[in-house]
Amino acid sequence: MTTPSPTRSSPPRLVNLIRRALLAVFLPAVLPPGYSAAPGQPNLLLIVSDDHGYADAGFQGAKDLRTPHLDRLAASGVRFTNGYVSHPFCSPTRAGLMTGRYQQRFGHERNPFYDPNDAREGLPLTEKLLPAHLQSAGYLTGWVGKWHLGAAPALRPERRGFAETYGFIGGGHRFREWQENVAVEYNVPIERNGQREPAPEHLTPAFGREAGAFIRRHPAQPWFLYLAFNAPHTPHEPTPERLARFSAIKDPVRQKYAAQLSLMDDAIGEALATLRDTGQERRTLIFFFSDNGGPVSVNGSDNTPLRGAKGSVYEGGVRVPFLVAWPGRIEGGRTDHRMVSSLDVFATALAMADVPMPTDRKYDGVNLVPYLTGEKVGQPHERLFWRNANLLAVRDGHWKLVRGAGKSDELYDLEKDVGEKNDVAWANPAVTTRLAAALEAWNKELIDPVFQGTAGRAGNAKKAKQKKK
């Protein structure tokens, strides 16, 4: 696990700004491959899809569905074949990327139960989120889409550092033609800056329009936009016209999934086109990834060639489509096989904004830009870790150790066996022992969940019902 070095010796922000200006003037002729001079504080666009299968994009090799806008983004940026999220469920991953820390360090290990009256059900207020840090550096911050980090007033995006907001607060939502009900998570009203908004005809295109409008409103001031789609999460409700485009797909669940994903791709395309039209593309750093692996048996997604799905700590639960693009600085059209994590968004964003990494707690992400420009070589991470209740895993280079409840530790050589089919722990006892020790040491740094979450509430309700019988 890589922890950013202390920042006490870092030069003041003014010196950083002067240094960047001098680099922009004097370095263009001697820049290393893949690098161009920094343009000052870049815009930061973070795009997250929901329950998106590893194989489900043109740039990942999909043949039965089309993602031309994501493919164009991949062609202009870097595609990571070993891009990971920090948890195999929606909300914990989002808590990790908003803090730059393994979310179990502060007890956010479950999807919070939707309860506007319970401030415990969500991302603890002890954590300062990425947008709040960026605001201190003069960034205009915006959120569009899905929140899923707590529904109580103190936990909402307007109170966690986002100046402009549009979307829904819960963990999922109907896409069209819903009956608004503040008590039903998937039917809650859409909100703008905390106030109820008229329901759009379809959520996915609406999120694309809102992202484009945000970009057009802010052509000069540096901004951070968190564009968090609920597509292609269920319930799949594509328009009939979009569904008809995928009539060649005979599985009806897969067909709806492909259509919903296509709508999201178009919405992403609208945001990216707005960057180009407003002249902001070359000064915008873009991240794209899914919040977890596809739940293949539920939504028609495809995690080929990986084992497992959403909820699992096998590769299919945590390895996701992962892109980074910055046309003005990072050479595009590349594939990178190094391990990177959603946790890296935080450290990368702060570094680009000239915000020192805080030193009051442990952070787990790294600034990826130097690795992408060639200023740094080697692996950004020595190890990555995962925990979902009693399921744990650690990856170290090409080795991965998986620990399940009541099972012997499993060891996989991902270089030879990306599908995690052949447990080779018996043949590599020293590696197994070393990774098990690292996993146990990491696990001791974490705390237990601090809220019951959706599963916990459901379990308690079931027990209460059985007790009455």
Active-site residue, 90 included = yes
Rounded CA gap, 311 and 390, in Å? 11
Per the residue annotation, which of 52, 69, 87, 90 is the catalytic one? 90
Rounded CA gap, 78 and 25, in Å? 26
Rounded CA gap, 293 and 312, in Å? 9
Euclidean distance between the first and the last CA atom of the chain, given in angstroms as a whole number: 50
DSSP state letters, 148-172:
-SB-SGGGSGGGTT-SEEEEESSS-
Residue ranges of the alpha helices (H) in 77-192?
Answer: 90-99, 130-135
Name 201's Cβ contacts closer than 8 Å, sequence gap at least 6: 176
Token code pair at residue 263: 């709508």
Active-site residue, 202 included = no
| Burial category of 99 from C-beta neighbours within 10 Å (exposed 0-12, middle 13-18, buried 19 and up) | buried
Whether residue 289 contacts residue 97, with contact meaning beta carbons closer than 8 Å, is answered with no
The dihedral region occupied by 163, where left means phi > 0, alpha psi between -120 and 50, and beta the remainder, is alpha
Per the residue annotation, which of 69, 87, 148, 173 is the catalytic one? 148
**Catalytic residue positions?**
90, 148
